[in-house]
Amino acid sequence: MLRALLGLAVCLALAAPAAGFEIEDERLFAGAAASAEVRVLSTTDTAVAAPAIEAFLAVRPDLSVRYVMASSRAAFAAIAEEGARFDLVVSSAMDLQLKLANDGFAAPHASAAAAALPPWARWRDLLFGFALEPVVTIVSLRALAGLPVPQTRRELIALLRENPGRFRGRIATYDPHLSGAGYLFASEDARRSDAFWRLAEVMGRLDARLYCCSADMIADLASGDILIAYNVLGSYAARHAGAIPDAGVIEMQDFTSALLRTALIPVSAPRPDLGAALLDWLIGPEGQSLSGGPAAIAPLDRSGIALAAHIRPIRLDQGLLVGLDRMTRANFLREWGAAMTQP
């Protein structure tokens, strides 16, 4: 009997996802006739992902989806360091996802849906993009009270410099120490323009508030605690801007980075076949048709992103790994810290 109980305990431990990493939210979505479970680890807020999951279960009522939300760095550590067992990993941190794939943590996947992706939206047969969205700035137009709405980083710098009393302690951006996506956005900005470091210094002098995630920035902007949120995920801005009086969502005209939300099937997936089913649905016509609806996530082929001259997609290639080099990251964060502690 004892041997049987020990065996059962081992089986249960192997079947359950590791929970050593910090989980921000967890929810079970059950299909009408669920008999199997897909385990998803994701950085996307549950409320944003829910419409897509529910639509998937409408065509796969035999499944349920256990949706676990974590920060991008926690999700990376869960797979790379803690042996967490999920069938699909979804993240906005393209660099961390690419590192998982490059380091052998992603299982190969081949399907008609994967083959139909444009070359820039997949890396080998390991990592797949399913949504392309801009990284935007949100301002409270009412709070600007007639001041010009900035359309470039230089205009934003001028606005902040000329109105320090209005914006002190009331501008927000990601903390790149905490957020993998925030580090990616900041390092991409720095690579594209020297104006980023001038902006960082100005924000530092104005006691900018640093956040882990877009949703928290938007919540504080809606409450009036902050007036400007810099580098916010476009899907969150589209979903929540209606809660902000006279919100202005700005795609900076000097350049606006666009990220790929990516997904991979871990080599440790308990049910890689179910992870593949959800992945193919996301990158296929049905999943893509949700974009612009309640999911508020831009599809890969949205003409507004494909054609706009100011949009600069972040490339899904091994160049992303450079920023994850320990010394490169440490140097960047040291320079960032110096900018944020301006007198």
- 221-270 pLDDT, tens per residue? 988 899 999 999 887 777 766 667 688 899 999 999 998 999 999 999 99
97: helix, strand or coil: helix
Confidence of residue 307 (pLDDT cuts 50, 70, 90): low
Mean pLDDT for 322-334 is: 92
Nearest-angstrom CA–CA distance, 152 and 230: 12
Nearest-angstrom CA–CA distance, 74 and 52: 23
Mean pLDDT for 82-89 is: 96
The amino acid at 85: R
- Is the confidence at residue 12, as pLDDT, over 70? no
134: helix, strand or coil: strand
162: helix, strand or coil: helix
Mean pLDDT for 137-144 is: 89
pLDDT score, position 13? 37
30: helix, strand or coil: strand
Confidence of residue 343 (pLDDT cuts 50, 70, 90): low
Q: Which residue has the higher pLDDT, 18 or 247?
A: 247
Mean pLDDT for 137-153 is: 90
- Is the confidence at residue 189, as pLDDT, over 90? yes
Kindly report the number of other CB atoms within 10 A of residue 161's CB atom. Answer: 13
The reported pTM is 0.81
| Complete domains list, the chain, with CATH | 2-132+261-300 (3.40.190.10), 133-258+323-340 (3.40.190.10)
Confidence of residue 310 (pLDDT cuts 50, 70, 90): confident
* Sign of torsion over alpha carbons 112, 114, 119, 124: negative
Q: How far is CA 169 from CA 138, 222, 297, 333, in A?
A: 16, 15, 30, 21
pLDDT score, position 3? 42
pLDDT score, position 212? 87
Nearest-angstrom CA–CA distance, 54 and 39: 14
- Assess contact for 279 and 265: CB atoms under 8 A: yes
Mean pLDDT for 186-202 is: 94
